[in-house]
Amino acid sequence: MAHESTARSELPVIDMAPLLVPEPHAPRVEVARAIRAACRQFGFFYVSGHGIDPDVLDAMAQAAHRFFALDEDVKNRISMDRGGLAWRGFFPVGGELTSGLPDVKEGLYFGTGLPASDPRVAAGWPLHGANLWPEEVPELEPAVRAYMDGAARAGQALLEGIAMALDLAPEYFARTYTGDPTLLFRIFHYPDQPGSAYADTPSWGVGEHTDYGLLTLLAQDDLGGLQVKTATGWIDAPPIPGTLVCNIGDMLDRLTGGWFRSTPHRVRNSSGKGRLSFPFFLDPDFAAEMKPLPDAAARADGDADTPDDARNRRWDDADLQAFEGTYGDYLLGKVGKVFPDLKAKVL
C-alpha cells in the first residue's frame, strides 16, 4: 500500500522497534515513557518500527480494492447475516451505525478463525467462529491472515510498553488479559462524500466514537480523513509513510481509572476517491473480568492534572468507571447498537 503523503501531524511518532526485542534494555524504557506521554495527552500516536512487511499491506489493499469493486449482489454472498453468531462478513454502505446514524462506509469483518469444534463455538459464544472469504478474490484470505499475525505481534509488544508506562511488569497484560485475546479486524471502504450520492447525508464516514477494547492499530491508505478530538479541538491524523496509527480503547480507560483516556475520533472522506482503512483491535479475553489495575485509583486520585476537558466528554454520557462485568459483556452491548438488525436476527 504505497504512501506518497508527506503530511505531518500534531500526534507524536514513536519508534516501537525496541519493544520487539525480548531482552530488557534502556531503549524500551524510553519507548514506554513516550507512550505514557502520548496516552496522557492524546490517547493517540503513530508507531514506526512495527515489523509488518509493507508487501503484506500492499497485497491486502489490492485485494480489498478488488473486492469492493464487485457488484453488490456478489459481495452479499458473504454478508454478515450468513456469519451467524460469529458476526463476520460483509456489510453495505449504511449498514453500520454510529450513535444511531448510518455510516457512509462498507466493510468486511474478520476475527480469530475458530472451527465448529472449538468449545466456545460449540457453546454458542457470540463473536466466535469462522471467517467468511470471497471466492472471487482468493488472494484476500492469505493477505488478511498475514496482516493479522503481524498486527497481533506488534500489538502485544505495544502492550508491554503500555504496561511499563503504567509501572507494571512488561508481561502484565499477557498474563492477565491478553493471553487469549479477542482479535478483531476490519477492512473499511469509504466512498467519496462531497459531490457524490452521499453529499447530503448527515452522517460521517464514521461518526464520533471511541474504540471498545485495549488497543487499536490502524493502517490507512494515502487519502486521509481520520480526525482526533483534542483539548483544543479536532485535528487531522493523516497517513505517515511506514507508520500505523495507535489509539487506546475504553477498557484501558476503565483499567487505569481514567488515567489513560479513550479518545473520540471520526472519519470523513473528502478526497474525491474511495478510501481504504484497516483497523485491528487487540482486546481482552472475552471472558476476562474488567477490574482496575493495581494502584489505578491512587494514580488517578493523586494526579492533579488529570485531563477533564472537551476531549473526554463522551458523546454517549457513559461512565466507564462504573462498568462491571466481562469484556464480552461490554463488547456485545456496543456491537448490538452498531448492528441492531443483525442483533435481532442472531442474538
Output the pLDDT for position 2. Answer: 39
> Which stretch of DSSP H or E encloses residue 185?
strand 182-190
Taken in order 175, 39, 330, 318, the sign of the CA dihedral is positive
Q: Which CATH superfamily is domain 13-346 in?
A: B-lactam Antibiotic, Isopenicillin N Synthase; Chain (2.60.120.330)
What pLDDT, in 10s, does the model give residues 227-280? 999 989 999 999 999 999 999 999 999 999 999 999 999 998 988 899 999 999
Domain ranges of the chain: 13-346
Q: Between 172 and 298, where is the model more confident? A: 172
Asked whether residue 4 carries a pLDDT value surpassing 60, the answer given is no
Asked whether residue 117 carries a pLDDT value surpassing 60, the answer given is yes
What's the rounded Cα separation, in Å, for the pair 312 and 261?
Answer: 7
Asked whether residue 346 carries a pLDDT value surpassing 90, the answer given is no
Spatial neighbors of 8 by CB under 8 A, at least 6 apart, are 238, 240
Cell of 73: 449482489
Q: Angle 140-165/54-68 helices, nearest 10 degrees?
A: 130
What pLDDT, in 10s, does the model give residues 36-59? 999 999 999 999 999 999 999 999
DSSP 117: T
Output the pLDDT for position 158. Answer: 98
Residue type, 38: A
Q: Between 4 and 329, where is the model more confident? A: 329
Q: Between 315 and 255, where is the model more confident? A: 255
DSSP 59: H
Asked whether residue 331 carries a pLDDT value surpassing 70, the answer given is yes
Cell of 313: 466528554
What's the rounded Cα separation, in Å, for the pair 165 and 43?
Answer: 13
Q: How confident is the model at residue 343 (pLDDT cuts 50, 70, 90)?
A: confident
Q: How confident is the model at residue 156 (pLDDT cuts 50, 70, 90)?
A: very high
**Measured between alpha carbons, how far is residue 11 from residues 31, 186, 261, 272, 311 in Å?**
15, 23, 15, 25, 14
What value, to the nearest 5°, has the Cα angle with vertex 107 and ends 106 and 109?
Answer: 155
